[in-house]
Amino acid sequence: EHYKKMPRGYEAPPDRANFLLYNTLYAQTVLPAGDFLFSSRLVDICMEHFGNMYPLLSWLNAWMMD
């Protein structure tokens, strides 16, 4: 948490309001070790990562469009 109060002019549902107290929000994953960057598995690994992160992206997108 970075901020002590909610920013003026922003409204958020109660389940999302606490995120406005942060100045950064990010998600990360641990990728497999090895030479996967140079293999045919790279696309599959990237698609799996995107699939895992999609719920967060979708939630943020819906919030921004409200």
Look at the alpha carbons of 29, 32, 34, 36 in this order and tell me if their dihedral is positive or negative: negative
The tens digit of pLDDT for each residue in 19-64 reads 788 888 788 888 778 888 888 888 998 899 899 889 888 888 887 7
The string of DSSP letters for 33-63 reads SSSGGGSTTHHHHHHHHHHHHHHHHHHHHHH
For residue 7, what pLDDT is reported? 78
For residue 66, what pLDDT is reported? 65
Whether pTM exceeds 0.75: no
For residue 47, what pLDDT is reported? 92
For residue 1, what pLDDT is reported? 82
